Structure 1
C-alpha cells in the first residue's frame, strides 16, 4: 500500500465566530492510499473543542510515523489494520480511515451508502450556520445564505463572550427575521441553537423559556465539555429534566463510549468525522443512536467537500444534517458533493464519490511511498 499526504488551505467566504473564537481559514491534509492501481482519498485537519486541541502539523507527524508500517499492508485487511489505526489521534485516524473506505468502495465500484444498504430517499435538508456577531451582521449573513440556497434550517450560534443579553438580542433578531420570511414566502424556517459550551447550567436554565418562546427546535451543547466523563455527564443530567427542547451533545460526544454514557441524559448526539476518527466509528455511532431512540446530528468543522462528502454517506440515518462548511469556501478543491435546494445529494460515484478538481495547483502524480508532506498549493 502506497500512501501520500498533501497539505492544502481552505478559506471561508465569511469568517465564522463561535463562543471559543473566530475562524477564517484552516490548513487541512489530503491523504491518498494507492494499491493495485486505485487511489482512495481522505481529508483531515486539526481542530479545537475547548477541552481538546489537535494541530494539523501534529496530525501530519502521526501519519508520517505510521507510513512505514502501512507499506506491507492491503486496504482490504480492515481487521488487521485496526491495531495500527487505534494508535492514532481521532483526526489522524479519520484521514486514513476515509481513504481506506474510499479505496474499498472504488474497488467494488459502488458508493459506500449503497454498500451499506441506505435509502437515499430518507435524506433531509441541511442546516446552515449563523456565527456570533452584532445583530446587524448576523442578519446580513442570514440574507446571504438565502441568496445562495433556500436555507430552511438555521443554526444560530450563541454562548457569546459578551453575555446573555447579547445572546438574547441575537435570538430575537433572528427569530423575527424567520417570522418575516414565513409571512412573505409562506414557508417556515426551522431555528436551532448551538451554544458551543458557552453557558453555565444557570445560564441555560434561565434561557430555556426564551428559546422555547422563540420557536427553537433543539439546543446543542449548552454546557462546556469536561475531560472528566463523570463531571461531563453530570452537567447534562442536571439540565435534561428541565429542557423542553431536544438536547444534543456535540463537544462532549466523540465516540461510542461517550454516546452510551450520555444517552440517558440527551435526546441526540452530533457526530463529526474528525471527532469520531472516521466513518468506521461514525457508522457504528449512528446505528446505535437510532437503536437507542436518539436523534442523529451530522456536523462538520471548517471542512472541505471531501470530508463532508464522506459524512454525507450517512445522511439517510440523520435527523439533523449540519454539513454546510464547504458551502462557505472560496477555494474548495473537491468536486462531487451537490445540492438540490438545501438538501445535499448523496454522491453517486464509487467510494466516497468525491474527486479533486483538475485545476487545483496542488494536484501532482501519486507516486510517493510514505506520507511525505509537500508545500501548500
Structure 2
C-alpha cells in the first residue's frame, strides 16, 4: 500500500467568522492510500483551537509511513487499532488516514460505505447551511444568497437576539444556533427562551467545554435542547455528556475518523442522546465520508464544501439540504 499526502489551502466564498476567529482560507490535508489498483481518500483540516496544522499532520504521518504501508489486509477497525498508538496525539491526522483506509477497504469490496455498514438511506436527515458571524445586513445577504430549509447561525456577540430576530423576518427555515462557547449559564438559559420563540431547534455548545456543573445547570433549565460539540471530542467524552447535554455533535477530525465516530454514535444512542455529525470546513472529500453516516443521525452539519469558492473533488452532491450519493463505491470521491 502506498501513502500519498497532498496539502491544499481551500479558499472560502466569504470570510467565515465564529465567536473566536475569522478565516478566508482553510488549510487542508488530503490522504490517499493506493493498493491493488484502488485508491481511498481521507481529509482533515487545520484548526487553531485544537492546535493542529497541516505541516504537523504531514510530519506525523511521514514518521510512520513504513508502518502504514505494511497494513494492507486489515479491516478498518483493525487498522485503526494498530495505528492509534502512533497517532494518539494527533487525532486529525488519524482521521484523514482512517477515512482513506475505510474508503479503500469499501472500494475493494465493491460497495459504497453505507452498504458496507448495512445502513439504509431512505430516512437521511437534511444538512443545514451555516451563516457565520457578520453584520446583520451581511448575515441576511448570505441567507438570501442561498435559500435553504435549515440554517445554522453562528452567534456569540452582544447582538445575538437582535440578529436572529432580523434573520427570522426573511425566512421560515429552521434555525439552529451555535455559540461556540461564547455564553454563560444565565445568558444561555435566558437566550433559549427568546430563541425558542424565534423558531430555533436547538443550541450547540453555548458554554465553555469543561464547565460540567454549569452544563448540568443549563441542561436542567433550558427550554431548548443543548448539543455538545467542544465538550465531546473523543469516545470517552460521550458518557460524560449524558445528563449534561441532550445530544452530541461528533466531529470526525477530533475523534480520529469514521471508525471511532461510528462507535461514538452508537454509544450516544444507547444513552438516549441525539446524534449529530458536524464538519470542519472540509472539501467534498471529507463531506462525502460524513454522508455515509447519515442513516445513523438525527441532525447533520455537512455544508463545508458549499462554503468554498472552489472545490478540489467530486463526490456527494447537495440540493436544498438533501444529499445524493456518487455512483462510485467507497465514499464516492474523485480528486479533480
> Which category of TM-score, normalised to the shorter sequence, fits these structures?
over 0.9
In the TM superposition, residue 176 of structure 1 has moved relative to its aligned partner by 2.1
Between 38-47 and 133-142, the greater mean CA deviation after superposition:
38-47
Q: Which structure 2 residues correspond to residues 359-370 of structure 1 after superposition, within 5 A?
A: none
- Helix, strand or coil at the partner of 1:344: strand
In the TM superposition, residue 81 of structure 1 has moved relative to its aligned partner by 5.3
- Helix, strand or coil at the partner of 2:146: helix
In the TM superposition, residue 75 of structure 1 has moved relative to its aligned partner by 4.7
Unaligned stretches of 5+ residues in structure 2? none
Q: When the two structures are superposed, what TM-score results if normalisation uses the length of structure 2?
A: 0.95
2:281/2:303 contact within 8 Å kept: no
1:248-282 deviation per Cα after TM superposition (whole angstroms, max 9, x unaligned): 00111112210111122211111111111110011
2:104 match: 103
2:334 match: 355
| Number of residue pairs the alignment of both structures matches | 333
Q: Which structure 2 residues correspond to residues 237-316 of structure 1 after superposition, within 5 A?
A: 237-316=216-295
1:9 match: 9
Runs of 4+ with deviation above 6 angstroms: none
2:268/2:274 contact within 8 Å kept: yes
> 1:71 is matched with which residue: 46, 52, 69?
69
1:171 match: 164
2:131 match: 130
Unaligned stretches of 5+ residues in structure 1? 179-187, 227-231, 358-377
2:33 match: 33
Distance 1:75 1:93, change over 3 A: farther
Q: Does residue 155 of structure 2 align to residue 154 of structure 1?
A: no
Separation in 2, partners of 1:80, 1:13: 37
Separation in 1, partners of 2:315, 2:230: 29
- Helix, strand or coil at the partner of 1:125: coil
- Helix, strand or coil at the partner of 1:122: coil
Q: When the two structures are superposed, what TM-score results if normalisation uses the length of structure 1?
A: 0.85
1:95-124 deviation per Cα after TM superposition (whole angstroms, max 9, x unaligned): 100110011001000011011111110112
Larger-Rg structure: 1
In the TM superposition, residue 57 of structure 1 has moved relative to its aligned partner by 1.2
Between 288-297 and 269-278, the greater mean CA deviation after superposition:
288-297
- The higher-RCO structure (CA 8 Å, 6+ apart) is 1
In the TM superposition, residue 351 of structure 1 has moved relative to its aligned partner by 1.1
2:187 match: 203
2:155/2:177 contact within 8 Å kept: yes
- Helix, strand or coil at the partner of 1:87: helix
In the TM superposition, residue 346 of structure 1 has moved relative to its aligned partner by 3.3
1:338 match: 317
2:219/2:243 contact within 8 Å kept: no
